[in-house]
Structure formats: C-alpha cells, structure tokens
Structure 1
Amino acid sequence: MSILNKPFNTPYNTAPFSKIKDEDFLPAFKEAIKNAKAEIDKIVDNAESPTFENTIEALDFSGEQLDRISSIFFNLNSAETNAEIQKIAQEVSPLLSEFSNDITLNENLFKRVKSVYDKKGEFELSVEQETLLDKKYKSFSRNGANLSEDKKEKLREIDKQLSQLKLKFGENILSETNKFEMLITDKKKLSGLPEGTKEAAYQLAESKNKKGWLFTLDYPSYIPFVTYADNRELRKKISLAAGAKGFKNDELDNQDNVIKIAKLRYERAKLLGYSTHAHFVLEERMAKTPETVQNFLNELLEKAKPAAESEFKNLESFAKELHNINRLEKWDSAYYSEKLKQKLFSLDDEQLKPYFKLENVINGAFTVASKLFDLNFEEINNIDKYHNDVLTYKVTNNNGDLTSIFYADFFPRKGKRNGAWMTSFKPQYVKDGTNERPHVSIVCNFTKPTISKPSLLTFNEVTTLFHEFGHALHGMLANTTYPSLSGTSVYWDFVELPSQILENWCYQKDALELFAKHYETGEVIPMDLIEKIKKSATFNEGIQTLRQISFGLLDMSWHGQNPSEITNVKAHEVVAFKRTNLFPEVAENCMSTAFSHIFQGGYSSGYYSYKWAEVLDADAFEYFEETGIFNKEVATKFKNNVLSKGGTENPMTLYKRFRGKEPKPEALLKRAGLLK
C-alpha cells in the first residue's frame, strides 16, 4: 500500500512531500478509487430508507482519501511538475473522470438522492443542509443521471476525452514557455532595462552555462523586458513569442485542442438538454444566463470604450512625439504606457520597488489580516515542503486555536506554470465533532533575489500577492460542516470577491505605512509616492477594462454558441475581438491557443466573473471606506457573512447580509474613473 493511502503521521496532518515518490501516485489513485467505490456501494446497499444523513451527508464525506491524493498530485502538476508526473496525469485523468461518471450515472444512488430531494419537507434541514441537498441533486441531474443508457455512455466518452485534452493543452503551454530563450550578448541592447532585471538575466544565463543575459517567457523576465527595453525589435521578438504559444503548427500546437474542447463541451451540453455550454455553466452562477453575461459585458464596453479610445489616442501621440512611432504595435503598449505614466505622475515601478521587499509585503498582508480578522501567522519549519522555495506558516486565531496551515510559493522555475493562483491541500469541514482545519496554498511567479538585491516586487506584483492572499483568507477562515461547501467552493462569479477586495488595501496610506518600507534604509514610503500610486491607479483604466471585456467576450464566443462551424481558431478570434481591438492585428499571434483560464482551468463561460466580482468588490470596499479601512465591525461582518460561509447559501443573500443592499456598478465605474 502506498504511503498516500495510509494516515499521514505528520504535524497537523500535512502532506508528507519528502516521502512521496512519483511512482507512488498511480497505485495510490487506483487504491483510493477502489476504496471510494466501496463507500458508494455502502450508501447504495443501505437497507434503511434514504435520509439526509445516510445518503446526502454520507456522499459528501465519501472519497476523502481520493480527494486528498488528487489535491496533492494536481497541485504538484501545476507547481512542481516533470515528465513523469505529466505522464501519470494523462493516465489518471480518465480514471478520475470515469469514477466521477460512475457516481453521477449510478441509477440506484440517484434514486436514493432523488428520494431525499423529493421528500425534503419531511426532514428538518438547516440552510446549509438544504444547500447541500440541492447541490448533490443537481450534480446528478445536471450530469446525466436522467439520460438513457446509450446517452450515458456517450457522456462518459466525452468526459474522458475532455479530461485528456485539457491536460494536453496545459502541457503544451508549459513546454512552450520553457522552450523560448532569448540570449543577448551585446550590452547595448539592454538599454532601458532596470539593473535588477539585468542582474537576474545574467544570473540565469550563468546558471545555464551561457555568456550574456538570458530572457524567457516567465513573467519576472518577460514583463520587465516588454515594459522597459528600449530595443523595439527585441521587444517585438519576445512579445511575438509570448503571443504565439500553442500557435505554430508544430507538435506543441493547441489549435486542434481548442476546437475539440469547444465542440465536446457543446456536444455535452446538448446531450444534457442545454442550448450551449454557457447555458449549462451559468445555470449555477450568479449571472444565471448567457444573455445576462453578454448584457453585462456590453454595458461595460459601452462605458469603457470611449475612455479606452481616448487613452489609446494619447498613447499614439505620445509615442509619435517621443520616438516618431507612426503605428503603435502590441509590443509598444507596456513600454509607452510606462513612459507616459512616468511623465504624467513622475512615477515608475523602479522608484517603488525598493519599498516592496517580498518579505515585507508578506508581513504586510499578514498584518492587514490580523487587524481585520484576528489572525496570527507564525513561520514553521517542522512540516514537509514540495520545494525548498516554499514557505510554511501556522495560522492561529487570537485564542491560539489553529485556523489553517499556509504554504506560499513565490518564484518561477522549470516545473511551474506561469501566473498566480490559490489552491488547497486539505479542505475545512466538521466531522465527528472535530472542526478539521484547511491547508491552503498560494503560488506566484515573482522576481527571485539576486546576489546584490532581495526580491523586490513591482506594484503590480504587490496587488497580485494581496489578490491571491484574499483567496487564501477565504479558504483559511472557512467554517462550514461539509467539505463541498467549504472555503472557495462558491459560485464562480462570487469567488473573486475576497481576492479583489483585498487589493484595495494596497492603495491605502494606513495599510501601506505598515509594510512599504525601503529595503535598505527602513524609511516608510513617502506620502507623495502614496498619492502618486492613488492618482495613477486609474491610468489607462479604459484600455485595461477593454482588455478584460475582450477576454470575457472571447470566452463567450467559444462557449455561448454552437461552435461546430468553427474551423479556424484565429479567424474566429479576430471576429470575437472586433469591437474591443485597439492595436493592429498580429497575424503570428493567437490568444485562444494559450488561454489556459478557459481551456485548462475552470473559467469556461466564467471569465466575465473578474469584472462581475469587481462590481461587488468596489461596492463592498466603499463600505470599508465609509467606516475606516480597519473598522472591526465591518471586517467582522465580512468575515462572518462572506469569508467563513463558503457556498452554504446563495451568494447574493450573503452579500446583502454583509452590505445591507445589493451592489451597484456605479462604485466600480467611479473607482475606475469611467463615470463622468
């Protein structure tokens, strides 16, 4: 029996990473699936008539071992993967997909669930229990329980294919990211780049036995290059490489995968009686229908487009005036935006970075959480890590009770996908009178320390850290009975509220003064810089909003209609972007083939939720601003009605209980400077 199938004799029941070998996973998965099936059989074979406890509750607590192994394995596949893990993922995904279908297509199990659902008035259920019952019933009815046998088989086949295609999509993007290297040997070509960026590039080249400065598509390398490098040709080279991921008609091409995924999702939705994949997904979202999403995005587009066009004209004239650029291209965007921002606000990231040493920012996030939610963070070294870079913390409340174990993983490396995300290794739930506490993790890709400098964050990286930490707080403060309703298990268009609201503290003097201190002198960030940060917060907000809307519209174009006529990914995308495009089209680039959020992650038909949650977060933060950003009463209301409740009730009910009213988009438009 694999170590993964036994109880972990570890501090706080943490994952024993150092003892797990790659070859342990496949047998562990098979054993855990067998055990989980036995648990399901026990529910089905129960001679007693179905009750909430012996059917719904038993079902929610089943497969605990399998869930634990899955979370450990798939988190490693994102943050610390290798060829062996990727191979296992391809083998395991169909098995898990098959197992999931074995549950939802199990007729006798569904009969028991339906029996409880039909008689729910006879059971005295709490609000949380009613929510769980509703969710369990829908997990069957929405996933084929009412289909005929031949259609159930078809569904199984589709799900198996989808699980493998999504994995392949992600593997291709990781390989593409790792493959690209741009070595610069002529120092003159580094003009404009910050010292820290050059030093990091030099060290990277050295680590690979190369002479010169090495740049890659990892964000801490790519973003500073396109933002600061004066050499336009090299900006173009690296920008084209980033935009062409999965779009080169080679062995890592994703065009076929994209079309297959979109068509299979549509086919699956039709099989289940829905018009499109978006109709299927949105039934269980705050937005409810594709029409609501389209109207929401179109309304925002109407408000943002005039501002975006005006900002773009300003950027064009500025580039023309500065360097006689006649046509602004995508690889000019970050560069001239940064130059214009410096001119308008006398502010640039290099000025700010010394005040944002990574360790200080982490402590700042902890202090904010402590002041708002009474949490205490203590770094501990008695638990296993999956990589030396990972930091581990014990989180307690003011009574000293364990709230959570927290893992933080901040630097890019070969086996780690780009971007930033929050995840968990163990959920929170209450069983046999014990409140099991969660193990939560955030993963980012920030600039590593160099020989001469610690890790200094750009302001954008600071807000990214606070964003992911907001998700982490949602996980840490979870206080529900059932694992499937705990923490971030909420409607997808509500899940970004805790993360996005926390970003607001990064712009506040009272919060910044807690942690924004010069890494050499200890001097607190000067007031004039704080003012500049606040003033520049809405700089090019129209362009940024248009960009987010364009991704939402692209997502809906793949999932909100019948994709069976789509044969050319690029041609389809050009049409989807028509109303939001500001820059000239780049023939060599394609967004869809690297749009991991919707083709690998869980955001299909859900990308709009970032803007949707911004409406909630702007409205919610306005409440904090009215009362003071560290007001304990408002923070406690937010903790008790939003953060701790998970998915136990309808999100709008929870939001109104916190805020006293429904959110209005005006707060967002005002904050973004889009309300005249």
Structure 2
Amino acid sequence: MTIENPLLSPPPSASSPAFGLPAFGALKAEHYRPAFEAGMVENLAEIARIAENPSPPDFENTIAALERSGRLLARVGGVFWNLSATDSTPELQEIEREMSGALARHENEILLNAALFARVDALHARRDALALTAEQARVLELTHKRFLRAGAKLDETAKRRMAEISERLATLTTSFAQNVLADEADYLLLLEESDLDGLSEDFRASAAQVAQERGAPGKYGVTLARSSVEIFLQSSTRRDLRETAFRAWASRGENGGATDNRALIAEILRLREERARLNGFANFAAYKLDDTMAKTPKAVRELLDRVWAPALAAAKAERDDLQALAERDGANVAIDAADWRHYAERVRKERYDLDQAEMRPYFRLDRMIAAAFHVAERLFGLSFVEVEGLDLYHPSVRAFDVRDATGEHVALFLGDYFARPSKRGGAWMSEFRGQENLDERIRPIVVNVLNFSRAPDGAPTLLSLDDARTLFHEFGHALHGMLSDVTYPLVAGTSVARDFVELPSQLYEHWLLEPEILRAYARHAETGAPMPEELLERIQKSRHFNQGFASVEFCASAYVDLDLHESAIDESFDALRFERESLARISMPEEIVMRHRTPHFTHVFAGDGYSAGYYSYLWAETLDADAYEAFLEAGDPFAPDIAERLRRHIYAAGGTRDPAEAYVAFRGRMPNVDALLRQRGFAR
C-alpha cells in the first residue's frame, strides 16, 4: 500500500485561499525521508540534463537552468528545516542528523560535477561578451564563485577530501545545535512563592504557566529562553538564585555527557581550517571573509578595535557605578557577571527613574506587532491583514496577508512569537517559500520566530524594551524577504553578503524608539493610556545607558570567533582554555561574560552562517547608523524619497549587486565608523 505523501503532491497555487502553504496538518515524520530522497533524485536528473546538454553553454541553458533546478528539494527542505527548528521531536532530530550529511553529499555531487563546472566556467570566461543584464551578470558571477569555493578546480584527490569535509561538518554542526537545544529545553529553575522577591506580577504569571506546563503546578519556572532568564537576572533580589540561573545560562554546551559540545568544536575548527587550506587560504577566517564586505580579518579587527577601547572604558565606569550602589546598600559583594544585570537595572532606575516593571506594561506584544506593521506602511506602503483559519504548523502562529499600496498581494507573513521546549532558542527570520520572477511571479512566505514568555490565557503578553527591539529587528529581516523583487532565486531576499544582511534588520530597530511611534503604540496594557511624555523622555535619555557592557559582551564574542578561525587547531586544543586566553589578550573584564560563550555559540557552530562572521552585526551597525542619519538629516523619519531609495536599493534588491554598490546607490557614499560610535554614545 502506497502512503500518500503531502510533500510530494503538486504544490498548491500561491494564489489559492491557503496562499500555497504546505499541508502542515497532514505531515508526519515518516514523510520527510522519502520526500528528501525524491527531491535529490529529481535534482540530480536535472543536473545531468544541464551538464550533458550537447548545445554550447549559454546563460539560459546553464545558469538559468540551474536556477530552475531543485525546486522539489527546496520545497521539502523549506518545510523540514523550519519545523525542525520550531517544533523539534526525537524523530525529527534523527532525520535532521541523517539528512544533513546526505544533503551535503548531494550538494557536493553538483558542485564537484566536472562537466557542469566546465559549462559554468566557459560562460564566466566570456562573460563580457554575453550581453547579460546586470542581474544575470551578478548571478553568473556568484554561481561561478560558489563552484570555486566548493573546490571545483581542485584535483580529484582534493575534491574527494572537500566532499568528505563538507559532509562531516554538516553532521557536526547539526549535533552542536541539537545539544544546545537539549540543554535549554531540559533546564527549569523551579521557584516557590518565597523566592519571588523583586519579580513583577506579569513575570510571576508567565513563570507560573511555565511551571504548570512542565508538570509543577503551584510553582514558578524560569527557563533559559532569553526573555525569561534575563528578566529574572534583572529583577530578582535573590543573589543565590541569580547565580544558579546565570551559571546554567552561561554553561550551556559544556556540562559533560552527551550534550557537551567541546569535542565537536575542536573537530569543526580543524575541518574548517583544512577546507580553507585546500582552497589556498591561510586560515578559515581568510577564506570565509573573502566573500564579504570586510574581505579580510585585518579589516574586521580594525573595526572591533575602534569600538573596543571606548567600550571598555565605558564598561569600567559602569562597573564602578554598580559597585558603588551595592556598597551603598550595605551588600558585601564584589559585582560579578551574575550581578551585572540586576544592579544595572537599579542604576537605570536611580539615574533615569526607569525600571522594567514600569516599562513592560507599555510594550504589549500585540501593540508592538501593530507598531512594526505601521512603520512598514509608512515607509513602504504595506498593509497587513490577519488571515484566520489557515492550516498552520502550530496553534500559536499567526498569519498575515501582506499587500502593497494598490492592494496587490506581496507576501504571506507568519509570526511565531512564543517560547516552547521544542523550539530552538533565540530569534530569527526564515522562509517557507522564497521570492522569484523567473518563470512566474512567485511571492514569498516569510516567518519570524521569537521566544517570548507567554502570558496566561486571557492576559496580555508584555515585553521588555529589549524584547520589543528584537521584534523590530527580526521584522526588518522579514521585510527584506517580503519586499524582494528580483528574477533569480540565487539573489532573492536575504541572499546577500553576511555582513550586509543585518543592515535591513538593525536599521528597522530605529523606528521603535521614534517618539511618534511610542506615542501611538506604547499604551498601557490595562488602562490603554498612552505612555506619559515624561516616561518617553526618560527612555530617550537612557538610550546610551549600559552601552559599555553591551558593546563589550558583543565584541568579546566577535574577537573569540575571529581568533578561533585564524588559529591552527591541533590535538591539544581546549575550547575553554582558548576562550580564556583569547579574552585575556583583550583585557576582558571579569564581571562581563561573552554574549555567546564558545560551547553554545550557535551563530558560529550550528552551521556555517556566522562562522568567522559574528562581527557582521557591528559591521552592519556602521551602515545602519549612517543610513538612519539620512532620515534625521531630512528632518523626517518617514521621508518618502529616502524611504523609496531604501526600498529600491536595499530591501527589494536582494543580492543583485555588490553590497557596497547597493549602499552607495542608497546613501550616495560609504559610511565611516563615526555614526556607529555616536549611536553607542562613545562620540558626539
């Protein structure tokens, strides 16, 4: 008996009432392996037809044909990898481990196909004579580079080794991510009523619901979701409990046993270094950065050094303020990493009369979602109409039909906002379907995934200011995917250089704190009253508060990432010792911990995306600080002409041009670091 597989059925029409969504309700774990296998078989048949085409290579029969290939496999992967990150199960994790290696092997078969590369290489050699459009020329260039970086020009022995490395890395990085998820999902700090001093009523309610869901009714649960543990660290007056929670948070991935990541890190680093050397680079950082705006590790270090010195000075002054407050309290403590957030919140309260408990009622989740939508309407003419009754992958996910100013459908946007044990930690944007205009106009299905602590049923979910900023950040990524308007999938949406991809997201954060937006959307969760003007002013005045700490914890992670990928890794490598030595070289304050410590640094080790590239957020901040100043110079945060340039050259353009060219097309020039230093309060 043949079991019908919804993943292998013809894809639903994007214009259907269901927007072409996958049939989530019909999916079972056993559907994925056969669907992946069918997708790979079909894709290899497509590749064979391209590689063995007797006609001379041209753009249409080679590059465009490659762009059309693999659609079934992409569709299956788009469903599986999204759901394995948001609703993981032991069955899905087993498939994830198996398929990560199989897909790496499959990709190698394509990228190391000599006949296929010969066609691509021949086209690239005569690219100037092909009369290509600018986008086609870019797609040809990027396709050729992709083959080269995979080892297409190496001898057969080196090609085989490159394939082995790619397959092994896919398995290792999948295991790394699953280990971090396991450490996060397994942890629960259970509290009694007597342990709740300092915690707000809404946090207590959320913590009670967490405990109830974990089988401990009548108690209160703190998880390792950032929106849970950070608020606990800020608010709790119990130093012993803060230390317990912080220790668990900081030691994910290094607790021994099956989920310990230290051995994986060493092997990942050795294999990455070997891959780089096979490609002729001195180390993996040089290999990885060759394909970015920064280009070299030297350029990255120069940027980090420009920020590190003023950040370190500011952090030391902040530490002294925290210590002085503790001493005024009569607390016989030396401020350490588990104390910082708590005393920083108290200094914020003392200096600006601000605390999280006062601000959170004004940052209600549904109001912040509406605020993010409103900014997109003002800047880009978009509207968001919630769609009920769709078959979505989780009951808490919301769906919105995104339309332009003429009412035409632009994208389907999914919002998955709440933490759950099956969901990977952090926040991200992804796609179930990407945009392209190759054979027809295909509009994307974009999802934002966050990990907010959900309020009990009937109560509003309240966010911290940092949570609201994260929501705007990820929605900026979503807009980058939704507004994409290019022909070829290779350059659609967020398919840009890693140190450029954070520009649309970080830039979008600026509008959260625009007074006009706060006045309209920051309304009290219970009374509906707008945020008082004097509170709004205090928030504006506190923009630079604790920026030394924030900059130091970020830059430390970026330095360690770069050090790891510039170093030769031998059999004696110890990840924790390396981390300590790397931090000692930059005089890391003992009271601050890296934002992402090495054993749970998923940006770097749960895949290849930000490896040797965590600096990208800072690089993009140089761009976003300067880009927002264009609106400030115009005297209007929604200046129509600037917004139109922003849409055309940044949000809609994908990777159709070199990122530096794209930025200059928007701004008229490249930025320097001064705008970033001003944004962080380190310069005027």
TM-score w.r.t. length of structure 1: 0.97
Paired with 1:586 and 1:128, the residues of 2 have a C-alpha distance of 44
Paired with 2:533 and 2:587, the residues of 1 have a C-alpha distance of 37
In the alignment, which residue of structure 1 is the partner of 2:255?
Answer: 248
Residue 204 of structure 1, CA deviation: 2.3
Residue 580 of structure 1, CA deviation: 4.7
In the alignment, which residue of structure 1 is the partner of 2:293?
Answer: 286
Q: Secondary structure at the match of 1:199?
A: helix
In the alignment, which residue of structure 1 is the partner of 2:637?
Answer: 629
Residue 574 of structure 1, CA deviation: 0.4
Does residue 2 of structure 1 match 2:5? yes
Paired with 1:290 and 1:373, the residues of 2 have a C-alpha distance of 36
Paired with 2:593 and 2:131, the residues of 1 have a C-alpha distance of 61
Matched AA of 2:8: N
Residue 201 of structure 1, CA deviation: 1.7
Residue 447 of structure 1, CA deviation: 2.1
Residue 207 of structure 1, CA deviation: 2.9
Paired with 2:596 and 2:364, the residues of 1 have a C-alpha distance of 35
Does residue 359 of structure 1 match 2:374? no
Does residue 53 of structure 1 match 2:60? yes
Q: Secondary structure at the match of 2:403?
A: strand
Q: Is the 8 A contact 2:105 2:167 kept in 1?
A: yes
In the alignment, which residue of structure 1 is the partner of 2:650?
Answer: 642
1:132 to 139, 146, 161: 139
User: Where does the alignment leave 5 or more consecutive residues of structure 1 unmatched?
Assistant: none
Paired with 1:215 and 1:519, the residues of 2 have a C-alpha distance of 23
Residue 215 of structure 1, CA deviation: 1.9
In the alignment, which residue of structure 2 is the partner of 1:598?
Answer: 604
Counting only pairs closer than 5 Å after superposition, residues 157-176 of structure 1 correspond to structure 2 as 157-176=164-183
After superposition, what is the alpha-carbon deviation per residue over 1:549-595, rounded to whole angstroms, capped at 9, x for unaligned? 101101101112222265211110001112252125899x9911111
Paired with 1:322 and 1:104, the residues of 2 have a C-alpha distance of 64
Residue 221 of structure 1, CA deviation: 2.3
Distance 1:311 1:203, change over 3 A: same
Residue 232 of structure 1, CA deviation: 0.3
1:226 to 233, 251, 257: 233
Q: Is the 8 A contact 1:550 1:580 kept in 2?
A: no
Residue 203 of structure 1, CA deviation: 2.3
Residue 669 of structure 1, CA deviation: 0.9
In the alignment, which residue of structure 2 is the partner of 1:488?
Answer: 494
2:664 to 648, 656, 659: 656
In the alignment, which residue of structure 2 is the partner of 1:665?
Answer: 673
1:417 to 419, 424, 429: 424
Does residue 103 of structure 1 match 2:106? no
Paired with 2:102 and 2:554, the residues of 1 have a C-alpha distance of 35
Counting only pairs closer than 5 Å after superposition, residues 74-153 of structure 1 correspond to structure 2 as 74-153=81-160
Paired with 1:637 and 1:529, the residues of 2 have a C-alpha distance of 34
Does residue 189 of structure 1 match 2:192? no
Paired with 1:631 and 1:514, the residues of 2 have a C-alpha distance of 19
Q: Secondary structure at the match of 2:641?
A: helix
Matched AA of 1:478: S
Does residue 209 of structure 1 match 2:215? yes
Residue 21 of structure 1, CA deviation: 1.1
After superposition, what is the alpha-carbon deviation per residue over 1:207-246, rounded to whole angstroms, capped at 9, x for unaligned? 3332422222122321221111111011001110111111
Paired with 1:583 and 1:85, the residues of 2 have a C-alpha distance of 40
Matched AA of 2:11: F
Residue 249 of structure 1, CA deviation: 1.9
Q: Secondary structure at the match of 1:440?
A: strand
Does residue 335 of structure 1 match 2:362? no
Residue 34 of structure 1, CA deviation: 0.2
In the alignment, which residue of structure 1 is the partner of 2:434?
Answer: 427
After superposition, what is the alpha-carbon deviation per residue over 1:486-541, rounded to whole angstroms, capped at 9, x for unaligned? 01000100000110011111111112123111122221111111111111110011
Matched AA of 2:38: E
After superposition, what is the alpha-carbon deviation per residue over 1:234-292, rounded to whole angstroms, capped at 9, x for unaligned? 10011101111111221211100111111111111111111111111111100001111
Q: Is the 8 A contact 1:566 1:572 kept in 2?
A: no
Residue 382 of structure 1, CA deviation: 4.2
Does residue 545 of structure 1 match 2:548? no
Residue 440 of structure 1, CA deviation: 0.5
After superposition, what is the alpha-carbon deviation per residue over 1:93-118, rounded to whole angstroms, capped at 9, x for unaligned? 11100111001100000000011001
Residue 470 of structure 1, CA deviation: 0.3
Does residue 499 of structure 1 match 2:466? no
Paired with 2:327 and 2:85, the residues of 1 have a C-alpha distance of 42
Paired with 2:32 and 2:306, the residues of 1 have a C-alpha distance of 48
In the alignment, which residue of structure 1 is the partner of 2:474?
Answer: 468
Q: Secondary structure at the match of 1:429?
A: coil
Q: Is the 8 A contact 1:244 1:590 kept in 2?
A: no
1:446 to 452, 455, 468: 452
Matched AA of 1:448: R
1:581 to 583, 588, 605: 588
Comparing 211-220 with 493-502, which one deviates more in the overlay?
211-220
Paired with 1:345 and 1:19, the residues of 2 have a C-alpha distance of 53
Matched AA of 1:643: Y
Paired with 2:632 and 2:64, the residues of 1 have a C-alpha distance of 41
Paired with 1:141 and 1:585, the residues of 2 have a C-alpha distance of 41
Q: Secondary structure at the match of 1:251?
A: helix
Distance 1:580 1:453, change over 3 A: farther
Matched AA of 2:473: H
Comparing 269-278 with 317-326, which one deviates more in the overlay?
317-326
In the alignment, which residue of structure 2 is the partner of 1:522?
Answer: 528
After superposition, what is the alpha-carbon deviation per residue over 1:309-359, rounded to whole angstroms, capped at 9, x for unaligned? 222222222222224243111110110000100100001121111111111
Comparing 323-332 with 279-288, which one deviates more in the overlay?
323-332
2:31 to 18, 24, 31: 24
Residue 8 of structure 1, CA deviation: 2.5
Q: Secondary structure at the match of 2:461?
A: coil
Comparing 147-156 with 308-317, which one deviates more in the overlay?
308-317
Distance 1:590 1:59, change over 3 A: closer
TM-score w.r.t. length of structure 2: 0.96
Counting only pairs closer than 5 Å after superposition, residues 257-276 of structure 1 correspond to structure 2 as 257-276=264-283
Q: Is the 8 A contact 2:435 2:489 kept in 1?
A: yes
Residue 431 of structure 1, CA deviation: 2.4
Residue 621 of structure 1, CA deviation: 0.3
Q: Is the 8 A contact 2:507 2:627 kept in 1?
A: yes
Tell me how many residue pairs correspond in the alignment. 673
Q: Is the 8 A contact 1:259 1:566 kept in 2?
A: no
2:40 to 11, 33, 44: 33
Matched AA of 2:682: L
Matched AA of 1:360: R
Paired with 2:592 and 2:473, the residues of 1 have a C-alpha distance of 31
Paired with 1:250 and 1:457, the residues of 2 have a C-alpha distance of 35
Distance 1:291 1:360, change over 3 A: same
Matched AA of 2:502: E
Q: Secondary structure at the match of 2:281?
A: coil
Paired with 1:303 and 1:55, the residues of 2 have a C-alpha distance of 52
Q: Secondary structure at the match of 1:488?
A: coil
Residue 375 of structure 1, CA deviation: 0.4
